[in-house]
């Protein structure tokens, strides 16, 4: 696990880095509070943080407050390192948002176990976060997580003046699959189609479960002709998918899906994402009406 060590004293930085590395941590160091915040803003930055209280530029307490005030989703476990162990000081440290504190000069064994607690909390937080964002049946993003991510993506595309396509698909005759084979088979079909869609989209795209047997895909930077190509590729991949219902090859089914998509670009009012989603959904509706297993764009 990565750990951020923010400490202005070279002496402490050196001995602590050495110990932490011995314990198997990958240490990222910062020499003051400003640097600590910069390290945290980077992608894949440490979730476990040791913050010295007294540092130049910005002290540990202020770093702590800023981390807690930011809207990031990932949890950061913060241990304040301090020689200010009076009760009032401890309280102001905890008030600033620290999870724990360790007094200087520190006891190695104590630090080791306090870090262990931090790791446990981070792992639990990450697990909860994953559960809160994932659709249990398909493993795709759930509706809420999809829309949160979509919002960020829309802003990013606007900033860089990129188009964005929203695509939806609905498995054809899903009700008759359920009626004929039972809901368990229906679930398997939904799982297989979901992982196929997830496999075929590009790595920048993301897929969510919109509801029932309907999936939604965000394709950043995709214009109309590319969207048409990708939609067709997805449609074919579902059509080709053979779903085996037992270990022998006897019981197998094939399904198809109907697709709708729309393109948002600089001429679109991107502030209204729901409108774009509605258009993609309308595309699915038209594709169904026209005979299913096809793709329809709504402008
Ligand atoms: Mg210091």
Is 213 designated active site? yes
Separation CA 22–CA 48 (nearest Å): 16
> Per residue in 23-43, pLDDT tens?
999 999 999 999 999 999 888
Q: Which residues surround ligand 1, an ion (CB under 5 A)?
A: 8, 52, 54
Q: In the predicted model, what is the mean pLDDT of residues 74-89?
A: 86
Question: Domain for residue 138, yes or no?
Answer: no
In a domain, 205, yes or no: yes
Q: Are residues 120 and 147 in the same domain?
A: no
Catalytic one of 213, 214, 232, 248? 213
Of 108, 132, 156, which residue is a domain's last?
132
Residues 236 and 101 in one domain: no
Q: Do 59 and 110 have their domain in common?
A: yes
* Mean pLDDT lowest among 91-95, 121-125, 195-199: 91-95
Is 198 a domain residue? yes
Are 127 and 148 part of one and the same domain? no
Same domain as 198, residue 70:
no
What is the CA(118)–ligand 1 centre distance, in A?
Answer: 22
Cα of 54 vs centre of ligand 1, distance in Å, is 4
Tell me the pLDDT band of 158, cut-offs 50, 70 and 90: confident
Instruction: Examine residue 152 and state whether it is found in any structural domain, yes or no.
Output: yes
Class of residue 297 by CB neighbours under 10 A (exposed 0-12, middle 13-18, buried 19+):
buried
**What is the secondary structure of 128-153 as a DSSP string?**
HHHHHHB-TTT-SB-HHHHHHHHHHH
The CATH number of the domain holding residue 272 is 3.30.70.270
Compute how many other C-beta atoms are within 10 angstroms of the C-beta atom of residue 292. 15
**Where is the domain boundary, 132, 151, 174?**
132
Whether 227 and 282 share a structural domain = yes
Q: Are residues 197 and 243 in the same domain?
A: yes
High-pLDDT (> 70) share of the chain, %: 99
CA 31 to centroid of ligand 1, rounded, Å: 9
Please tell me the predicted confidence (pLDDT) of residue 248: 63
User: What average pLDDT does this structure show over 71-92?
Assistant: 85
* 59 and 153, same domain (yes or no): no
For the chain, how many structural domains are there in total? Answer: 2
Q: How far is the CA of 8 from the centre of ligand 1 (A)?
A: 5
Q: Are residues 115 and 159 in the same domain?
A: no
132, 165, 192 — which closes off a domain? 132
State whether 120 and 55 are in the same domain: yes
Q: Cα of 36 to ligand 1 centre, how many Å? A: 13
Tell me what pLDDT residue 247 has: 62
272 pLDDT higher than 90: no
Residue 98 shares a structural domain with residue 231? no
Whether the per-residue pLDDT at 72 is higher than 80: the answer is no
121 Cα–ligand 1 center, Å: 26
Q: Please check whether residue 137 lies inside any domain of the structure.
A: no
Q: Tens digit of pLDDT for each residue in 194-227?
A: 999 999 999 899 999 999 999 999 999 999 999 9
Residue 250 lies in a domain: yes
For the four alpha carbons of 230, 163, 298 and 199, in that order, the dihedral sign comes to: positive
Phi and psi at residue 205, in whole multiples of 5°? -85, 160
Q: In which band, very low, low, confident or very high, does the pLDDT at 163 lie, cut at 50, 70 and 90?
A: very high
> Which residue range(s) make up the domain with 107?
2-132
CA angle 256, 247, 190 (to 5 degrees): 30
Distance between CA 81 and CA 169 in Å, rounded? 53
Q: Clarify whether residues 155 and 282 are in a common domain.
A: yes
pLDDT band at 249 (very low <50, low <70, confident <90, very high): low
Q: What is the pLDDT of residues 223-237, one digit of tens each?
A: 999 999 999 999 999
The CB density around residue 28, as the number of other CB atoms within 10 Å, is 18
- Answer yes or no: is 170 within a domain: yes
Residue 194 within a domain: yes
Q: Is beta strand 242-244 parallel, antiparallel or unpaired with respect to 252-254?
A: antiparallel
pLDDT in tens, 282-295: 999 999 999 999 99
State the CATH number of the domain containing residue 93: 3.40.50.2300
The model carries a pTM of 0.75
Quick one: tokens of 28? 């990222």
């Amino acid at each position: 696990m990565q750990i951020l060590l923010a400490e202005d004293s070279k002496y402490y930085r050196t001995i602590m880095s050495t110990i932490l590395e011995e314990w198997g941590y990958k240490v990222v160091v910062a020499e003051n509070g400003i640097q600590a915040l910069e390290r945290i803003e980077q992608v894949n930055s440490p979730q476990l943080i040791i913050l010295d209280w007294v540092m130049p530029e910005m002290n540990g307490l202020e770093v702590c407050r800023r981390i807690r005030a930011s809207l990031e989703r990932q949890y950061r476990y913060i241990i304040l390192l301090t020689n200010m162990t009076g009760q009032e000081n401890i309280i102001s440290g905890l008030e600033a948002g620290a999870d724990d504190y360790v007094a200087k000069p520190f006891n190695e064994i104590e630090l080791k176990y306090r870090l262990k607690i931090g790791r446990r909390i981070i792992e639990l937080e990450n697990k909860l976060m994953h559960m809160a964002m994932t659709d249990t049946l398909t493993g795709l993003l759930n509706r809420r997580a999809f829309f949160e991510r979509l919002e960020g993506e829309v802003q990013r595309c606007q900033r860089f003046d990129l188009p964005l396509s929203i695509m939806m698909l609905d498995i054809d005759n899903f009700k008759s699959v359920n009626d004929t084979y039972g809901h368990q088979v229906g679930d398997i079909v939904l799982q297989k189609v979901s992982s196929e869609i997830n496999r075929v989209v590009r790595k920048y795209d993301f897929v969510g479960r919109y509801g029932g047997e309907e999936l939604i895909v965000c394709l950043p930077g995709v214009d109309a002709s590319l969207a048409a190509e990708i939609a067709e590729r997805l449609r074919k991949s579902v059509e080709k998918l053979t779903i085996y219902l037992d270990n022998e090859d006897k019981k197998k089914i094939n399904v198809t899906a109907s697709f709708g998509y729309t393109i948002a670009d600089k001429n679109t009012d991107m502030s209204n994402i729901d409108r774009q989603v509605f258009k993609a959904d309308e595309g699915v509706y038209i594709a169904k009406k026209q005979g299913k297993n096809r793709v329809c764009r709504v402008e």
